[in-house]
Structure 1
């Protein structure tokens, strides 16, 4: 390589494309021949390679940003219930349906349930075979899946509470009757709390009830004392 070529190699390269407009564009080139926006012009003699921008939609990178982004809680799909949970719910509905078969006609009429379920419960009362009863309970449990159990459970709980209250009241009357037969002071206490009671009639019933018990006779007077106590002490609402 001669000396002249060495000197030219050390000089900056000026590219002239002609015209005022081209001269203005040439002034924007830097020492590497790049314009401000990274583009390179070709003068037809010097092959200048334009830098390639990184592709973001290549198969190796496409969608990677979406997978790496955190998923919003609102976009998360609810997971289906597990098989164990579904089985537990089915058993609970079956047990609830079985409880409905133990209700009386009046209570059953107060429940807002489909007619198909009501008919299935009535049919249960006509079945005597144990195996058939078991299949009918399964069928009732299946019908219960289309019913909102909350109002039914609330109604049953209310009835249970009233039943417990009723039982407590009956036991209270029984204790009073036993006290009247065992302790003479109990009648005085009862008359003081309920002055409207017929004291003479109560004394006769108590005397006759004691004789019935000693003789082993039917407890006619014993039961009548209980009825009088129910009238004197009615069950609270």
Structure 2
């Protein structure tokens, strides 16, 4: 099973890019984030034409996630449990061929001195609680998406300069590790522990892309049952170099199912 995650930074603005990549890469499951449109206006027919079943959870202008699958999706969950008043569209989860798969868009958290950072930390606590429950199910679990977390100094072009950013603050990284310590495997570093300049995001400003000033913030977390089947985890830098590119690029895992 080939699963991709990609923060597309507005699915309508990048539709030809996304369609073209899906046709070429042909993942069985595609997890999209920051679709930036309401659920009803998601261009489902364009993806159905490529053979995908479409499950989008959107809101006007901001956030939004989608789960596209070439196989039937069952037991759909369209919000992260734990905070009923949270209306932000950041989570969708379903079962595909016996694998529980989620597309998540974890809050950015900046500026740190505002309510945005405590919201990020609460969201991470909710994700931890939900991820623990998923482990207890015993099925293979794949939690993919834009985590807005830089796990370590090797995952950012300038660690010192990012020390106090919400993506790299110690509290953020500790909460990310708490989820891992439940029993999850971070797929990319499991297969590429020492790879440098393995980034998935480059800002539009300051020539970040041509200068390779990137961050690795798009991740796959795998339960033991999924990690045992992991054969590939790769970052495809190609889409970031295209015209009208998203500031993120796809990350792909392959599981031997």
Shared fold (TM-score, shorter chain, > 0.5): no
More strand by share: 2
TM-score by length of structure 2 reads 0.16
Rg comparison, structure with higher value:
1
TM-score of the two chains, using structure 1 as the length reference: 0.17
More helix by share: 1
